[in-house]
Amino acid sequence: MTPHRSNVARDPVALFTLGPGEPPDSLSRYLSSLSFHLNGFGHQHDNTGAECPPRVIGDIELILYRGGTGWITIADQRFSCAAGDLVLIPPYVPHEIRTDPADAHDNYWVHVDVTPSYERDRFAGLLLPPDGGYRVRLAADNDVAVLMELVARQMTDRPPGYAAAVEGLLRALLVAVVMTTGRYGRGAMSVIPGDRPFPADGTEALDRVIRYAMEHLADDFGADDLASAAGCSRSRLFELFRERLGRTPMAFVRWLRLRQVELLLKTSDLTVTEISSRVGIVSPFHLSRLFKAQHGVSPSDYRRRVLRLP
Protein backbone atom coordinates (compact mmCIF):
# COMPACT_ATOMS: atom_id res chain seq x y z
CA MET A 1 0.00 0.00 0.00
CA THR A 2 1.33 3.43 -0.90
CA PRO A 3 1.50 5.74 2.14
CA HIS A 4 -0.95 8.62 2.00
CA ARG A 5 0.65 11.98 1.27
CA SER A 6 -1.14 15.29 1.73
CA ASN A 7 -1.34 17.93 -0.99
CA VAL A 8 0.99 20.08 1.07
CA ALA A 9 3.61 17.33 1.08
CA ARG A 10 3.32 16.93 -2.70
CA ASP A 11 3.41 20.69 -3.26
CA PRO A 12 5.98 22.21 -0.90
CA VAL A 13 5.35 25.69 -2.32
CA ALA A 14 2.05 25.64 -0.45
CA LEU A 15 4.06 25.88 2.76
CA PHE A 16 5.20 29.35 1.81
CA THR A 17 2.06 30.99 0.48
CA LEU A 18 -0.98 32.68 1.95
CA GLY A 19 -4.28 31.96 0.30
CA PRO A 20 -5.93 34.92 -1.44
CA GLY A 21 -8.01 36.87 1.03
CA GLU A 22 -6.86 34.76 3.94
CA PRO A 23 -7.13 36.95 7.06
CA PRO A 24 -3.91 37.35 9.06
CA ASP A 25 -3.80 36.12 12.64
CA SER A 26 -4.56 38.59 15.43
CA LEU A 27 -0.90 39.05 16.43
CA SER A 28 0.04 39.90 12.84
CA ARG A 29 -2.82 42.39 12.61
CA TYR A 30 -1.65 44.06 15.81
CA LEU A 31 2.02 44.20 14.76
CA SER A 32 1.04 45.59 11.36
CA SER A 33 -0.60 48.52 13.14
CA LEU A 34 2.71 49.48 14.77
CA SER A 35 5.87 51.14 13.50
CA PHE A 36 9.24 50.26 15.03
CA HIS A 37 12.17 52.66 15.19
CA LEU A 38 15.77 51.69 15.81
CA ASN A 39 17.17 54.18 18.34
CA GLY A 40 20.51 52.43 18.72
CA PHE A 41 22.34 49.18 18.09
CA GLY A 42 25.74 48.12 19.29
CA HIS A 43 28.19 45.33 20.05
CA GLN A 44 29.94 45.64 23.40
CA HIS A 45 32.89 43.39 24.17
CA ASP A 46 36.36 43.28 25.73
CA ASN A 47 35.60 46.32 27.90
CA THR A 48 36.29 45.45 31.51
CA GLY A 49 34.85 48.76 32.68
CA ALA A 50 31.63 48.60 30.68
CA GLU A 51 28.64 49.64 32.74
CA CYS A 52 25.43 51.64 32.73
CA PRO A 53 24.90 53.34 36.09
CA PRO A 54 21.34 53.44 37.50
CA ARG A 55 19.10 55.00 34.89
CA VAL A 56 15.62 55.12 33.40
CA ILE A 57 15.04 55.20 29.63
CA GLY A 58 11.89 55.72 27.60
CA ASP A 59 12.31 53.07 24.91
CA ILE A 60 12.64 49.27 24.91
CA GLU A 61 16.10 47.73 25.23
CA LEU A 62 17.02 44.15 24.28
CA ILE A 63 20.41 42.73 25.28
CA LEU A 64 21.67 39.42 23.91
CA TYR A 65 24.68 37.95 25.73
CA ARG A 66 27.16 36.08 23.54
CA GLY A 67 29.81 35.46 26.18
CA GLY A 68 31.48 36.65 29.35
CA THR A 69 29.65 37.57 32.54
CA GLY A 70 27.46 40.55 33.29
CA TRP A 71 25.01 41.63 35.96
CA ILE A 72 21.80 43.48 35.27
CA THR A 73 19.47 44.86 37.91
CA ILE A 74 15.97 45.69 36.66
CA ALA A 75 13.50 47.11 39.17
CA ASP A 76 14.10 44.87 42.21
CA GLN A 77 15.44 41.85 40.29
CA ARG A 78 19.16 41.10 39.75
CA PHE A 79 20.38 38.72 37.07
CA SER A 80 23.76 37.17 36.40
CA CYS A 81 23.94 36.91 32.62
CA ALA A 82 26.04 34.72 30.34
CA ALA A 83 26.05 33.45 26.74
CA GLY A 84 22.56 32.68 25.49
CA ASP A 85 20.70 35.06 27.84
CA LEU A 86 18.27 37.57 26.34
CA VAL A 87 17.36 40.45 28.66
CA LEU A 88 14.38 42.72 28.06
CA ILE A 89 14.21 46.15 29.69
CA PRO A 90 10.80 47.87 29.39
CA PRO A 91 10.35 51.65 29.18
CA TYR A 92 10.58 53.70 32.39
CA VAL A 93 11.84 50.79 34.53
CA PRO A 94 14.95 51.66 36.62
CA HIS A 95 17.95 49.46 35.85
CA GLU A 96 21.73 49.26 35.84
CA ILE A 97 24.22 47.08 33.93
CA ARG A 98 27.67 45.94 35.03
CA THR A 99 30.36 43.52 33.87
CA ASP A 100 32.84 41.20 35.54
CA PRO A 101 36.31 42.74 35.00
CA ALA A 102 37.80 39.23 35.00
CA ASP A 103 35.32 38.02 32.35
CA ALA A 104 34.03 41.05 30.44
CA HIS A 105 30.67 40.45 28.86
CA ASP A 106 30.15 40.23 25.10
CA ASN A 107 26.70 41.34 24.00
CA TYR A 108 24.56 42.90 21.35
CA TRP A 109 22.18 45.63 22.50
CA VAL A 110 19.34 47.30 20.67
CA HIS A 111 17.13 50.24 21.64
CA VAL A 112 13.79 50.32 19.86
CA ASP A 113 10.78 52.58 20.09
CA VAL A 114 7.19 52.01 19.04
CA THR A 115 4.59 54.27 17.49
CA PRO A 116 1.85 55.07 18.23
CA SER A 117 3.48 55.95 21.56
CA TYR A 118 0.40 54.93 23.53
CA GLU A 119 1.02 51.32 22.43
CA ARG A 120 4.60 51.24 23.77
CA ASP A 121 3.79 49.69 27.15
CA ARG A 122 1.25 47.28 25.68
CA PHE A 123 3.79 46.01 23.15
CA ALA A 124 6.56 45.79 25.75
CA GLY A 125 4.25 43.52 27.75
CA LEU A 126 4.26 41.05 24.86
CA LEU A 127 8.06 40.81 24.95
CA LEU A 128 8.34 39.97 28.65
CA PRO A 129 8.43 36.34 29.82
CA PRO A 130 5.36 35.05 31.66
CA ASP A 131 7.24 34.35 34.89
CA GLY A 132 7.34 38.06 35.76
CA GLY A 133 11.06 38.34 35.08
CA TYR A 134 13.10 40.09 32.42
CA ARG A 135 15.47 37.35 31.22
CA VAL A 136 15.01 34.45 28.80
CA ARG A 137 17.48 31.63 28.15
CA LEU A 138 17.66 31.02 24.38
CA ALA A 139 18.13 27.69 22.67
CA ALA A 140 21.31 27.44 20.60
CA ASP A 141 19.43 27.65 17.28
CA ASN A 142 17.01 30.41 18.29
CA ASP A 143 16.04 32.90 15.58
CA VAL A 144 16.67 35.86 17.88
CA ALA A 145 20.43 35.26 17.87
CA VAL A 146 20.46 34.77 14.09
CA LEU A 147 18.52 38.00 13.50
CA MET A 148 20.78 39.97 15.85
CA GLU A 149 23.79 38.78 13.82
CA LEU A 150 22.08 39.82 10.57
CA VAL A 151 21.29 43.30 11.94
CA ALA A 152 24.91 43.63 13.09
CA ARG A 153 26.17 42.66 9.64
CA GLN A 154 23.96 45.22 7.91
CA MET A 155 24.87 47.98 10.37
CA THR A 156 28.59 47.20 10.07
CA ASP A 157 28.87 46.78 6.29
CA ARG A 158 26.11 49.25 5.29
CA PRO A 159 25.60 47.91 1.77
CA PRO A 160 23.11 49.64 -0.56
CA GLY A 161 19.64 49.11 0.87
CA TYR A 162 20.90 48.38 4.38
CA ALA A 163 18.39 50.77 6.02
CA ALA A 164 15.45 48.93 4.46
CA ALA A 165 17.01 45.60 5.40
CA VAL A 166 17.47 46.67 9.03
CA GLU A 167 13.88 47.88 9.18
CA GLY A 168 12.61 44.47 8.07
CA LEU A 169 15.05 42.57 10.26
CA LEU A 170 14.07 44.66 13.29
CA ARG A 171 10.41 43.74 12.87
CA ALA A 172 11.33 40.06 12.39
CA LEU A 173 13.56 40.24 15.49
CA LEU A 174 10.75 41.64 17.65
CA VAL A 175 8.29 39.00 16.42
CA ALA A 176 10.87 36.32 17.21
CA VAL A 177 11.23 37.68 20.74
CA VAL A 178 7.46 37.63 21.24
CA MET A 179 7.35 33.99 20.13
CA THR A 180 10.43 33.06 22.17
CA THR A 181 9.21 34.35 25.51
CA GLY A 182 6.22 32.00 25.37
CA ARG A 183 3.87 34.79 26.38
CA TYR A 184 1.96 34.65 23.11
CA GLY A 185 0.82 31.14 23.88
CA ARG A 186 -0.21 32.03 27.44
CA GLY A 187 -3.00 34.49 26.88
CA ALA A 188 -0.97 37.45 25.72
CA MET A 189 -3.54 38.23 23.05
CA SER A 190 -5.74 39.56 25.81
CA VAL A 191 -3.46 42.61 25.96
CA ILE A 192 -3.90 43.30 22.25
CA PRO A 193 -6.65 45.78 21.39
CA GLY A 194 -9.69 44.80 19.41
CA ASP A 195 -11.18 46.89 16.66
CA ARG A 196 -11.39 50.15 18.60
CA PRO A 197 -9.01 52.67 16.98
CA PHE A 198 -7.74 54.20 20.23
CA PRO A 199 -7.70 53.20 23.88
CA ALA A 200 -10.14 55.16 26.01
CA ASP A 201 -7.85 55.88 28.93
CA GLY A 202 -6.17 59.10 27.81
CA THR A 203 -3.08 57.59 26.23
CA GLU A 204 -3.86 59.16 22.87
CA ALA A 205 -3.60 62.56 24.57
CA LEU A 206 -0.26 61.55 26.08
CA ASP A 207 0.96 60.50 22.66
CA ARG A 208 0.10 63.93 21.24
CA VAL A 209 1.95 65.63 24.11
CA ILE A 210 5.08 63.54 23.59
CA ARG A 211 5.06 64.21 19.84
CA TYR A 212 4.61 67.94 20.45
CA ALA A 213 7.42 68.03 23.00
CA MET A 214 9.84 66.16 20.74
CA GLU A 215 9.03 68.41 17.77
CA HIS A 216 9.46 71.61 19.84
CA LEU A 217 12.27 70.52 22.16
CA ALA A 218 14.39 73.58 21.33
CA ASP A 219 11.46 75.98 21.88
CA ASP A 220 10.21 77.74 24.99
CA PHE A 221 6.85 76.22 25.95
CA GLY A 222 4.94 75.44 29.13
CA ALA A 223 2.21 73.24 30.56
CA ASP A 224 -0.55 75.28 28.90
CA ASP A 225 1.00 74.61 25.49
CA LEU A 226 1.16 70.88 26.30
CA ALA A 227 -2.49 70.85 27.40
CA SER A 228 -3.46 72.54 24.15
CA ALA A 229 -1.48 69.93 22.16
CA ALA A 230 -3.16 67.14 24.14
CA GLY A 231 -6.62 68.56 23.55
CA CYS A 232 -7.52 68.50 27.22
CA SER A 233 -7.58 70.79 30.24
CA ARG A 234 -4.46 71.60 32.21
CA SER A 235 -5.81 69.75 35.25
CA ARG A 236 -6.59 66.64 33.16
CA LEU A 237 -3.08 66.76 31.67
CA PHE A 238 -1.49 66.81 35.13
CA GLU A 239 -3.76 63.95 36.20
CA LEU A 240 -2.71 61.83 33.20
CA PHE A 241 0.99 62.41 33.81
CA ARG A 242 0.67 61.67 37.50
CA GLU A 243 -1.22 58.41 36.86
CA ARG A 244 0.87 57.18 33.93
CA LEU A 245 4.38 58.58 34.39
CA GLY A 246 4.52 59.60 38.04
CA ARG A 247 5.79 63.09 37.27
CA THR A 248 4.54 66.49 36.13
CA PRO A 249 4.37 67.33 32.41
CA MET A 250 7.31 69.75 32.55
CA ALA A 251 9.40 67.33 34.62
CA PHE A 252 8.81 64.80 31.83
CA VAL A 253 9.89 67.38 29.24
CA ARG A 254 13.07 68.00 31.24
CA TRP A 255 13.70 64.25 31.21
CA LEU A 256 13.18 64.16 27.42
CA ARG A 257 15.65 67.01 26.99
CA LEU A 258 18.31 65.30 29.10
CA ARG A 259 17.78 62.09 27.19
CA GLN A 260 18.41 64.00 23.95
CA VAL A 261 21.53 65.52 25.53
CA GLU A 262 22.78 62.01 26.31
CA LEU A 263 22.16 60.91 22.71
CA LEU A 264 23.95 63.95 21.22
CA LEU A 265 26.94 63.47 23.52
CA LYS A 266 27.25 59.90 22.27
CA THR A 267 26.66 60.48 18.57
CA SER A 268 27.87 63.99 17.69
CA ASP A 269 30.81 66.32 18.20
CA LEU A 270 28.58 69.27 19.15
CA THR A 271 29.78 71.36 22.06
CA VAL A 272 27.79 71.54 25.28
CA THR A 273 26.77 75.08 24.32
CA GLU A 274 25.46 73.90 20.95
CA ILE A 275 23.63 71.00 22.56
CA SER A 276 21.96 73.25 25.13
CA SER A 277 20.59 75.39 22.30
CA ARG A 278 19.28 72.35 20.43
CA VAL A 279 17.39 70.92 23.39
CA GLY A 280 15.93 74.16 24.76
CA ILE A 281 17.91 74.34 28.01
CA VAL A 282 18.57 77.95 28.84
CA SER A 283 22.37 77.80 29.21
CA PRO A 284 25.23 75.28 29.06
CA PHE A 285 25.85 75.86 32.78
CA HIS A 286 22.25 74.97 33.63
CA LEU A 287 22.47 71.94 31.33
CA SER A 288 25.63 70.77 33.11
CA ARG A 289 23.98 71.09 36.53
CA LEU A 290 20.90 69.14 35.43
CA PHE A 291 22.97 66.49 33.66
CA LYS A 292 25.31 65.97 36.61
CA ALA A 293 22.37 65.68 38.99
CA GLN A 294 20.97 62.83 36.85
CA HIS A 295 24.17 61.04 35.77
CA GLY A 296 26.63 61.92 38.51
CA VAL A 297 29.19 63.32 36.03
CA SER A 298 29.45 66.39 33.84
CA PRO A 299 28.47 66.18 30.14
CA SER A 300 32.14 66.35 29.11
CA ASP A 301 33.16 63.56 31.48
CA TYR A 302 30.20 61.49 30.35
CA ARG A 303 31.21 61.82 26.70
CA ARG A 304 34.82 60.98 27.55
CA ARG A 305 33.82 57.81 29.43
CA VAL A 306 31.29 56.61 26.87
CA LEU A 307 33.60 57.17 23.90
CA ARG A 308 36.64 56.00 25.90
CA LEU A 309 38.53 59.19 25.14
CA PRO A 310 41.80 60.06 26.92
Instruction: Let me know if residue 185 belongs to a domain.
Output: yes
Looking at the fold, whether 157 and 234 belong to one and the same domain comes out as no
pLDDT at res. 190 = 45
pLDDT at res. 288 = 94
Instruction: Let me know if residue 267 belongs to a domain.
Output: yes
Separation between Cα atoms, residue 157 and residue 176, nearest integer Å: 24
Instruction: Let me know if residue 169 belongs to a domain.
Output: yes
pLDDT at res. 269 = 86
pLDDT at res. 213 = 87
Least confident piece of the model among 200-204, 244-248, 270-274: 200-204
Q: Tens digits of per-residue pLDDT, 164-222?
A: 999 999 999 999 999 888 666 444 444 444 333 333 456 678 778 887 888 898 999 99
Report the CATH number at residue 143.
2.60.120.280
Instruction: Let me know if residue 209 belongs to a domain.
Output: yes
Average the pLDDT over 82-107 and give the result: 85
Q: Tens digits of per-residue pLDDT, 144-164?
A: 999 999 999 999 899 999 999
pLDDT at res. 140 = 78
Instruction: Let me know if residue 18 belongs to a domain.
Output: no
Least confident piece of the model among 14-28, 85-99, 192-206, 275-289: 192-206
Cβ burial, residue 87 (10 Å; 0-12/13-18/19+): buried
Separation between Cα atoms, residue 30 and residue 156, nearest integer Å: 31
Q: What phi, psi does 254 have (nearest 5°)?
A: -60, -40
Predicted confidence (pLDDT) at residue 12 exceeds the cutoff of 90: no
Within 67-130, where are the H helices?
120-127
Parent domain of 294:
203-306
Domain boundary among 169, 191, 213: 191
Average the pLDDT over 57-61 and give the result: 83
Looking at the fold, whether 257 and 295 belong to one and the same domain comes out as yes
Separation between Cα atoms, residue 220 and residue 240, nearest integer Å: 22
Cβ burial, residue 106 (10 Å; 0-12/13-18/19+): buried
Which run of H or E residues covers position 114?
strand 106-115
Instruction: Let me know if residue 287 belongs to a domain.
Output: yes
Looking at the fold, whether 185 and 207 belong to one and the same domain comes out as no
Indicate the number of domains in the chain.
2
Asked whether the beta carbons of 72 and 96 are under 8 A apart, the reply is yes
Instruction: Report the SS3 class of residue 106.
Output: strand
Predicted confidence (pLDDT) at residue 20 exceeds the cutoff of 80: no
pLDDT at res. 14 = 56
Looking at the fold, whether 176 and 300 belong to one and the same domain comes out as no
Looking at the fold, whether 285 and 235 belong to one and the same domain comes out as yes
Q: Pick from 54, 64, 70, 73: which is nearest to 102 by CA?
A: 70
pLDDT band at residue 70 under the 50/70/90 scheme? confident
Instruction: Let me know if residue 89 belongs to a domain.
Output: yes
pLDDT at res. 172 = 95
